[in-house]
Amino acid sequence: MENTFKALLIREENGQFLKQVQQVSLSSLPDHDTLIRVTYSSLNYKDALSATGNKGVTRTFPHVPGIDAVGVVEESSGKLWKKGDQVLVTGFDLGMNTWGGYGQYIRVPGEWIVALPPNLQPQEAMALGTAGFTAGLCVDKLVQAGIKPSDGPIAVSGATGGVGSISLQLLSKLGYQTVGISGKKNTDLQQQLNGTEWLDRQEFTDESKRALLKPRFAGAIDTVGGSVLTTLVRSLQYNGVVAACGMAQSGDLNLTVFPFILNGVSLLGVDSVQASMPVRQRVWNLLANEWKPEQLVSFTKQLTLEELPEQIDQMLAGQTEGRTLVKLW
């Protein structure tokens, strides 16, 4: 094993954040117990924020983003893993303040690591990544809350993004009727998800002060927040459930208590960063087996590290859809 490896390094220079693929030293990695040779990563919105110097995501630079990684254990001084184990890492501090998956190696605590499920190829694991894991957590919230396919349609906001598009695939596979809410129209992804009804986000959003709206959905998965989430909560059927996991539009929530005390609505928060290991293992096993999306690969674009900076800029400009896989070797 060489002493250097290739990585997308983000440097701060005169107030500007520069993205450059270069060789970095293994000694630059943090002093954790397990070294992983990364084969694939993926692109998430949080990665794009980190790559542009967002201090709410990453505090110190130079930095290597990438909140997802799959690969093979190279060495470990801990008791959980051994050389040759196929593993994946999502969440915790990876790619935030711990150098992440946009480098050919990462060094992380063994407690952050999940064994790659036998029925999941490395490319599939990163086509899912944090987005797929979050989608799985959201669907699991609805299932655990007792929402059944026969109860009515499930709405998904931000439906052409990573979490939204995978949520639609998971729900469809489980037999739910799906409604996608998006600001985009007639995209390739929307055409491929032809079993989904599509609503324009602007036309769907209700800015009125009405406490309750016409009941439309048995449940919802929200990645957007703000007025979209308030519209969803007010549009749920009796005992409806929203799993909320994002704030692409806003972190604000302007609601009365009436949907909750008159319609028995539940608003459930979903966090993929600090999810417990038993939850991680259970949801990843579901994603690898009975919940595995059949169209996952067709919604995934594969890039090299050198092609990644341009894709990051496109994501920040709202010009991407589906998932982006990053090949490290």
pLDDT at 77 over 80: yes
State the average pLDDT for the chain.
94
How far is the C-alpha of 233 from the C-alpha of 218, rounded, in Å? Answer: 10
Cβ density class 9-28: b for 16+ within 10 Å, e for less: bbeeeeeebebebeebebeb
The pLDDT assigned to 168 comes to: 95
The pLDDT assigned to 318 comes to: 85
Q: Do residues 40 and 126 make contact, with C-beta atoms less than 8 angstroms apart?
A: yes
Using DSSP, state whether 181 is helix, strand or coil. strand
For 218-238, the pLDDT digits (tens) are 999 999 999 999 999 999 999
How far is the C-alpha of 302 from the C-alpha of 311, rounded, in Å? Answer: 11
Percent of all residues in the chain with a pLDDT value above 70, rounded to a whole number = 99
Where do the CATH 3.90.180.10 domains begin and end in the chain?
A: 4-116+296-327
Output the CA–CA distances (angstroms, integers) from residue 297 to 43, 293, 312, in the order listed: 15, 9, 20
pTM of the entire structure?
A: 0.93
pLDDT at 297 over 80: no
Using DSSP, state whether 229 is helix, strand or coil. helix
| Local confidence band at 2 (pLDDT 50, 70, 90 cut-offs) | confident
pLDDT at 194 over 80: no
For 14-26, the pLDDT digits (tens) are 889 999 999 999 9
Q: According to CATH, what is the number of the domain 130-269? A: 3.40.50.720
Lowest mean pLDDT among 191-195, 211-215, 277-281: 191-195
Nearest to 7 by CA among 26, 23, 30, 31: 23
Where do the CATH 3.40.50.720 domains begin and end in the chain?
A: 130-269
The pLDDT assigned to 241 comes to: 98
pLDDT at 108 over 80: yes
| Local confidence band at 323 (pLDDT 50, 70, 90 cut-offs) | confident
User: Domain spanning 4-116+296-327: which superfamily?
Assistant: Medium-chain alcohol dehydrogenases, catalytic domain (3.90.180.10)
Percent of all residues in the chain with a pLDDT value above 90, rounded to a whole number = 87
The pLDDT assigned to 5 comes to: 97
| Local confidence band at 299 (pLDDT 50, 70, 90 cut-offs) | confident
pLDDT at 189 over 90: no
The pLDDT assigned to 286 comes to: 98
The pLDDT assigned to 190 comes to: 79
Mean pLDDT, residues 44-66: 95
pLDDT at 192 over 80: no
The pLDDT assigned to 14 comes to: 86
pLDDT at 187 over 80: no
The pLDDT assigned to 294 comes to: 82
| Local confidence band at 320 (pLDDT 50, 70, 90 cut-offs) | confident
Q: Do residues 265 and 142 make contact, with C-beta atoms less than 8 angstroms apart?
A: no
